[in-house]
Structure 1
Amino acid sequence: MSASSNGLCPLLRGTLFFVVASSVVLLASCDKPPEQAAAPPPPPVTVAQPTKRMVTDWDEFTGRFDAVEQVQIRARVTGFVTKVAFKDGAIVNVGDLLYEIDPRQYQAAAEQAQGQLADAKAKVELAQRELERATTLIRTQAISENIVDQRKQSLAAAEAATLQAEGALKRAELDVEFTKVTAPIAGRISRHLVTVGNLVQGSESGATLLTSIVSMNPIHVYFDMDESIYQRNSRLWFEGKRPSSRDTPNPVQIIMAGETKPSRAGKVDFLDNRLDVGTGTLRGRALVDNDDLSILPGQFARVRVLGSAPYEALLLPDAAIGTDQSRKIVYVVKDDDLVEAKPVTLGALDDGLRVIKQGLRPEDRIIIDGLQRARVGAKVAPHAAKVGDAKP
């Protein structure tokens, strides 16, 4: 029994020594402070000061083009169409022949009226000679004054008949002229609605529609501004900061469908005299050049109307502007390279940059690239650039 105990003692003593040694090592390791991880460097960002320049505000509306002149071509005399003299959709000039209507019956009526006029003139000559003879005979009392009065009445009746005959001849000649239907305005013509051989009516009510013409250059564009914009523009006019479009042809810019920048210019030439009670808007109109005839009546476009006098403003790219709930903010790098968020009031776009109406100073350093790496209150490594260097 004692022998077996003596045999186990060395093993127990070795195990106990290992445990104690391990504990000492662990206690020693606990006394050493842990090695701290190195802090990451501040994230790089690109900063720039806002651009300062003179800008002008523009109000933008949806506009619709319409022709300055437009006319429906209708028959003015009744008859059969003998010729269609235009190509559908072509450009026509004033006086161009469009249709021909059979003129023979009207030519015959004109010849008849001309004969009636000649007969009336002959009767006038006869009545004048008879009156002259009667005037001579009355001096010798060869005839009575009653006969002289009758001769005067005959002359007046003959002259009246002559006037009637002249009127009938002019009307007949007009009917002959109306058998040739010509363009009253210059512009683009529509398709022909009546073909050769068809009977058209020329009565004042129910005259046959033959085609239509719309003028092309210049062209009108109509737009509707809401009441708030009208009131603001009126206030600016009273303050002398913006001319009124009623007495000044204020400039407009036209952005066609598919375009991002204005490609045409025009001038306001009309403002309505009342607001539409249904929509609360005021109808305006501008005159736009259409030299290449590419704009058609009925097309839509964006219309930018002068909204202010020129003023000095600070501008930034849209990429530098963030959103904090309902506020628009920009990230400013202070002198100690810490990031600060500033709320701003935005204006319109001007040549690709956003006008900042309130919230910025010209010397502020704005983060224009690297917004995703910036945190409010954190330090950044700013790299100076110009506003034009911002990434879209």
Structure 2
Amino acid sequence: MRRVPLAASLILLLLGLSACSEDKSNAQTAAAPPAPAVTVAKPVKKLVSDYDEYVGRFVAVDFVEVRARVSGYLDKIRFKDGQMVKAGDPLFTIDRRPFQASLNQANAAVEQAEANLAFAEADLKRGESLVRGTTITQQTLDQRVQSKRVAEANVTAQKAATEQADLDLQFTELTAPVSGRIGDRRVSIGNLVTGGSAGSTTLLATIVSVDPIRFEFTMDEASYLRYLRAASAGSANSVDRGMSIPTKLKLIDENDFAHEGRIDFVDNVIDRSTGTIRARAEFSNPTGKFTPGMFGRIRISASAPAQALLVPDAAIGTEQVRKFVYAVGDDNVATPKYVTLGPTVDGLRVITAGLDPNDTVIVNGLMRVKPGAKVAPQQASAEATTAKDQTVRTN
């Protein structure tokens, strides 16, 4: 009699627990989370062209080592280290006194030679007026002719020595051979400077031209052939191979390729060891910002401009080695579309394959989306989203 009420109590308890579980499940179903809010936009259509980028260094158009042509003691320095100089500006002065003395001595030797020549000419003239064979012999006359010629040669030699002495005196004043920026002085006043055209001469300073400046880089053989075909299309010019291609450049601390230039030289051989060929572009440098030896990145157009689709980088997801974007249809369901990426243009990523111009792409909120899930889209433009993202990163 006592076991029956106990069994009935257990049955009632199990029925109550089952009812509570059903009520809880219904409450959870009723409180399902809403669709995540995302920002969507149409791909941007722009006229873009393929381009390649290379790293290189700036080199000066003119690089000059200032060395003396005559030896002597350094007397004056007429510039400040690192200043801009123009062609013809005075730089160094070597003690002029020994060279001035040599010039004076050479001038005196010229005067002496000219006096000897005048005497020889007068002596010969007197001899020619005498009767040959009776008053003067032919041998004596020939000797006077020879003396005149020797005196003329001596005058020519002494004048040449005077010109050399004058040049040596001029060489004591060293001027800038080109315009540009001079480096620091390598020798102080009072030191002996070794000059000349052979042997070990003393380096006094260096000068590099500033404006314009050149940028040297190397390209691979395939790229060279591609540029050559693109540049030579419709041109019969075989002298420069049509490689006068416009380029853009940026420095290592810049985000945009804001500096415009043009390729003006491509080497005549391809390096066997690397399979690359050397090229050079020229850029204007009025402010002197570009410095020889400075690194930079150059961009070269590899094809004619064509229409392309672009999306922000924030709209691109990664699945192992594949890239994808989420396209939202009329039913607000996010569907992944695998795409092929191109270069970045004006902060947007070029999509070369996998995307349709009419697709609506999620450009913000990608991490809240799952494939096949519904979303709450909010319309925006891809450019505005990119600008906003860049502002947030800057701040």
The TM-score bracket by the shorter chain reads 0.7 to 0.9
Structure ID, larger Rg: 1
The change in CA–CA distance for 1:29 and 1:257 in structure 2 (over 3 A counts) is closer
Q: Is the 8 A contact 2:231 2:244 kept in 1?
A: no
**What is the Cα deviation at residue 123 of structure 1?**
3.5
Please, what TM-score do these two structures have when normalized by structure 2? 0.84
The change in CA–CA distance for 1:259 and 1:136 in structure 2 (over 3 A counts) is same
**Structure 1 residue aligned with 2:179:** 186
**Structure 2 residue aligned with 1:234:** 228
Q: Is the 8 A contact 1:99 1:181 kept in 2?
A: yes
1-structure distance, mates of 2:77, 2:377: 76
**Structure 1 residue aligned with 2:257:** 262
The change in CA–CA distance for 1:278 and 1:329 in structure 2 (over 3 A counts) is same
**Structure 1 residue aligned with 2:215:** 221
**What is the Cα deviation at residue 150 of structure 1?**
4.5
CA RMSD of aligned residues (A): 3.4
Tell me the SS of whatever aligns to 1:390.
helix
**What is the Cα deviation at residue 176 of structure 1?**
0.6
Find the partner of 1:358 among 353, 357, 364: 353
The change in CA–CA distance for 1:212 and 1:16 in structure 2 (over 3 A counts) is closer
**What is the Cα deviation at residue 148 of structure 1?**
5.4
The change in CA–CA distance for 1:77 and 1:279 in structure 2 (over 3 A counts) is same
| Count, aligned residues | 380
Deviations 1:41-92 (A, max 9, x none): 4333222111112123332111211211111111211111122222122222
Deviations 1:171-205 (A, max 9, x none): 00011111112211122212212112211212321
**Structure 2 residue aligned with 1:114:** 107
Q: Report the AA paired with residue 225 of structure 2.
A: Q
Q: Report the AA paired with residue 82 of structure 1.
A: D
Find the partner of 2:67 among 74, 94, 98: 74
Q: Is the 8 A contact 1:138 1:145 kept in 2?
A: no
2-structure distance, mates of 1:133, 1:145: 13
Identity %: 43
2-structure distance, mates of 1:365, 1:349: 20
What does 1:236-315 align with in structure 2 at a 5 Å threshold? 236-237=230-231, 246-315=241-310
**Structure 2 residue aligned with 1:212:** 206
1-structure distance, mates of 2:377, 2:348: 22
Find the partner of 1:199 among 192, 195, 200: 192
1-structure distance, mates of 2:181, 2:208: 6
Q: Report the AA paired with residue 85 of structure 1.
A: R
Find the partner of 1:92 among 76, 85, 110: 85
Please, which moves more after superposition, 35-44 or 275-284?
35-44
Gaps of 5+ in 2: 390-395
2-structure distance, mates of 1:16, 1:202: 123
2-structure distance, mates of 1:126, 1:65: 66
Q: Is the 8 A contact 2:228 2:243 kept in 1?
A: no
1-structure distance, mates of 2:310, 2:6: 79
2-structure distance, mates of 1:223, 1:24: 83
The change in CA–CA distance for 1:48 and 1:16 in structure 2 (over 3 A counts) is closer
**What is the Cα deviation at residue 373 of structure 1?**
2.5
Please, which moves more after superposition, 226-235 or 88-97?
226-235
Confirm or deny that 1:173 pairs with 2:160: no
**What is the Cα deviation at residue 158 of structure 1?**
2.8
Find the partner of 1:163 among 127, 146, 156: 156
**Structure 2 residue aligned with 1:3:** none
**What is the Cα deviation at residue 277 of structure 1?**
2.5
**What is the Cα deviation at residue 143 of structure 1?**
5.6
Please, which moves more after superposition, 265-274 or 328-337?
328-337
**Structure 2 residue aligned with 1:344:** 339
Q: Is the 8 A contact 1:319 1:390 kept in 2?
A: no
**What is the Cα deviation at residue 110 of structure 1?**
0.8
**Structure 2 residue aligned with 1:6:** none
Q: Report the AA paired with residue 255 of structure 2.
A: T
Q: Is the 8 A contact 1:246 1:270 kept in 2?
A: no
2-structure distance, mates of 1:293, 1:12: 105
Tell me the SS of whatever aligns to 1:267.
strand
**What is the Cα deviation at residue 169 of structure 1?**
0.6
The change in CA–CA distance for 1:46 and 1:162 in structure 2 (over 3 A counts) is same
Q: Report the AA paired with residue 85 of structure 2.
A: V
Please, which moves more after superposition, 266-275 or 135-144?
135-144
Tell me the SS of whatever aligns to 1:332.
strand
The change in CA–CA distance for 1:139 and 1:347 in structure 2 (over 3 A counts) is farther
Tell me the SS of whatever aligns to 2:156.
helix
2-structure distance, mates of 1:17, 1:277: 96
Gaps of 5+ in 1: 1-8
Q: Is the 8 A contact 1:56 1:308 kept in 2?
A: yes
Please, what TM-score do these two structures have when normalized by structure 1? 0.84
Tell me the SS of whatever aligns to 2:103.
helix
